[in-house]
A and B are shown apart, each in its own frame.
Chain A
Amino acid sequence: MGNDIQRRDFFKVLAATGAATAAVAGCADPPEKLIPYLVPPTNIEFVPGHPVEYATTCMECPAACGMVVKTREGRAIKAEGNPDHPGNAGALCVRGQASLQTLYNPARLASALVREGTTWKAVPWTQAETTLAERIRGLSDRRQLVYLTGNGAGTRGRFLDAWLAALGGAPKLVFEPLGQQNIKAANDQSFRRPEIPQYRIEQATFLLNFGSDFLETWLNPVRQARAFAAMHAIDDAKRSKGRFVHVGPHVSLTGANADQWVAIRPGSERILALALAREVLQRRGKSVSPPEAARLREYLAPYTLESAQDATGVAKDRIAQLAREFAGARSSLALAGGTLAASEAGTATQVAVNLLNHVAGNLGKTVHFGEAQQIDHGAPFSEVLALVKRMQAGAVQLLIVDGANPLHALPATAGFADALAKVPTVVSLSPAWDETTSKAHLVLPGLTFLESWGDAFPQKGVNALVQPVMAPVYPLKSVEDTLLAVARAAGATQFEKTATYYDYLRAAWAGVQKEVGNREAFDVFWRKALQAGGVFQQVSASGAVRLDLRVLAEPAPRGKLAGTGLVLLPTASLRHHDGRGARNPWLQEIPDPISQVVWDSWADIHPTTAKRLGIAHGQAIRVKSPYGEVETAAYLHYGVHEDAIAIPLGQGRTDSGRDADQRGVNVMTLLPAVHDPASGQFAFVTTRVSVEPLPHQAFLVQTDGSPRQLGRGIIQQMSLEQVAKGEAPAAGHGGEVAAAAAGAAGQSAAGTVHARAASFYPPRERTPGYHDPYRWGMSVDGDRCTGCSACVAACYAENNIPVVGKERVGLGREMSWLRIERFIEGRGEEYQTLLQPMFCQQCSNAGCEPVCPVYATYHNPEGLNAQVYNRCVGTRYCSNNCAYKVRRFNWFNYEFKSPLHLQLNPDVTVRSKGVMEKCTFCVQRIQHARLKADGEGRPIKDGEVQPACVQTCPTRALTFGNLADPASEVSRKSMRGEEARQKRVRQYEVLEELANLPAVTYQRRVRVTTEQEA
């Protein structure tokens, strides 16, 4: 496997990469021949050097965001959000950006494989299909055919049902480790609506979140991030913003964006929600009818502030304060979800939050039914366990696994490994190597979503299409087409009219056409839908639901955490989700924004607890539960309850390719196979673990130099009162707590940072030809940035940035041009995490430019610090003299392991060893826009150029444009000059006192420190 691309394809690619490879060739590499297209393909309007974009839908997680994939010369080079898609509106998350590495993953399988003893033999595709068909035909009882899939969305789900029906197999089982059954079950109990409602975060002024990671993996993170920004980012005109309180035992990226964190005993969210509901009901029960209120009062009576204080560990004053705010807010919303709300009492917690939303009158307003989010198709964990039992009993003769990896994602105690060994034939249709596939007998690798047809309906009114954006990387068939061929070979007659899955999909979309009320010819409708990425409609629904009081009669849940030790909190990973992203090198190399850890797992422990246990930061620890043990690194984190330890999911692979294997630990090995009886959803928070320090330091690699900014004002913030008064913070801004720490070294906060003095030299813009008509600049709104790191992945993808691996990142040699800087302010529960993107500031008075002896870096007339790779000798003086340290040096010739190299952007040089590189605001995109504008005889329009980072930002924290044009959006956001400086209180430049005159301005984060008038 690996490199067998067809010769013809190879030449096509070679032609495209010609320019890039020639530039790379440098001195050491042998010359390569350029072979141009002799006969260009005729089925598309092909102009060499011009990208062709295809709209499709991201299948990296069930949220199904719209995607536009840019292809060059027949290969996908960049994934971007589809701006027309109502869910993500043009943005993508870090995993969506990295989906190209799912496509080009080195762990992908290139041919059909048959196991022979302990080795694998490649077999012709048709032979593998015949083998599978024969096995199906040979089943004595067709019900012993089981299909386990990771994707049952949309038409695909129905197709699989039809296929299994045709062959007489058991119903399909959709395996989704991070399911949402608790929400559905709770809504069924509460409102008789077993669905996931639409949470209208954007309409809330007070958001109370019970543990969900809604900015990371839960439900639809990109959409929610956008909604969160609409709710939480400051309105500069009105000078107001919403307030967000995070309640939970752990702070990850979502919690870090909260104005306040309420550390709560793990598993006690339900009690707090009920106590809040009780308080809110007393204050504001208007939306509740009197008899209902009486019934609720009776039900909530035991949940007093005192009892809640005892159960949750949250001071009752604080609970009362939360209740006051929740009841008093103009529009409030309580959320619960994610792994940390999924205990054995997970459904009951959701019911409690439903009651809270109900008494506050949020149903039908911020919690909206009727446009249900259909993004969860997974079977409950209880059904998976039932399958395991059947397998163990020998009642499964043929198991087909497709895109699911239960061997890694199930707790070891579920017994899947043993059960799998009892299945005589295991067939894997997964496109890449993983733990479960490695135990299969027959592998017919499928295609990734970027190479196949499909669809998804993530919510009512959103009918999204998945289309292949390029020819398959390897000459394989999509899973559906394989299944069709197998069905035919197995003698099923149902699919005689369906030559390919494409036909099946089209037939299904004829139904969609009817549903959306489109009357055009189908081909026209189909083509338009493909171009747009689907059919998107506004659905108006009343959204009103009524509380079914029978829910109050539900038995009180179990959910006492037995045993001794710290409560284990398995957290979903921003980068790896449940583990499906672990194989993509970008997702390993891009640090987790909160811990700044790369290529690894870690265990968040509270410093107080760590001290008690005698554990230092970075020390190796052994975490032992009754079900298993792992060895990982201790990470001292204020954002975890003192009685808990948090380990992210998804790592600890053993057989998923070199980029994932042996990285970190699989936290699932510590968990029992327990689920919430009310919903069947897997219970993550069930176990206490003992933590034992080991005598050595773990090899934990973090990219942050220092957790504290020591009053240096790198990431600045101000209070809402300051914004309201229109006064900028005094010198020494930002790190009030850090300044105190700095005081230990004799530093005073006052006088730290001086306003920049008038310059001796005339400004650049007075140099003839400079900054006219363009000066490119950016504005970064710190109050909108959540630190989600999507921009970082976008930068890797757009600019051919190599991945260097854990050891080299440990030396500080990561190549990212754009990083999320993270600083910690304060201590204990009141601590804060500050996050901010940092990249080349394109200074007018740059440190890097004058020191380069050969003009390899210079100030271009449009205000960019251009970097001429071919001229660079590699003295690294520029990097030394850069106050922001945003330049990266090529220490080696980095490898883009095949077939990852096919993703390389031909517009961007691949840099060779010994050369400095850096961000230039995606100068290739500026150049593209310029060519287009020049061709049309006009200047570049505002917004026409969007660097990769700006394009993908879910919260629109980044604005790029022409600073020389006072009407441009970026000019309006980042005013220049003294007058503007006074007007725009949130504006600052990082390290302004150095007079580097950056073209990037930052807007301060605004902190809502106290209760806010609603």
Chain B
Amino acid sequence: MKTRSKILFASTIGSAMTLGVAAAIANDAADTPSITPKTMADALHMVMDSDRAVYTRRIVNRLAAKEKVITASEHFEDEKALVLPAQMFRFGAEMVTERAAENPDVNFSYSLQSLWPINSQNAPKTDAEKEGLQFVVDNKGENYYTTEELGGQNYFTAIYADTAVSPVCASCHNDHVDSPRTDFKIGDVMGGVVIRIPIES
């Protein structure tokens, strides 16, 4: 009996310690850096790209192209229409910027840019943007990664090709009064998603 209670005591202590250690490891794991900025950028892009694909397919393709019950328009408020997939993407980016400002631990930004933008404010500005956007056009299927300094802060910057996934992507851009390029076709790289993650120097 005596031995048994000793074993019970020891195993109780042992279990308690194991649990404590496990909890400590879990806490440590949450705070230990284990993914690279590149992995994080790739993961973010995968989420953005998938969400946008779902919106394009399940909402716009289905309701506007297939069922024809509503249209999608740049002036969605005035036209009582769906927002264009690229606009949905931009609005998400703006909301992220707003929310990230209040949560510096989760500080990243992203934008949709092009060498042939309809709104000239979405043309590349930094050297990294200019080089990266050209790179993803010239090397279809590849991404561009670099680092840069903006306003005194260092960033890991990743650029992913943004491609015309539907004939209307190409035709809308080709027909838009402010589009500097008018010969896009489906499957063409039209621009790029630029993701920035602040890094220490």
Q: Do A and B bind each other?
A: no
Which of B's residues lie within 8 Å of A, judged by CB? Answer: none
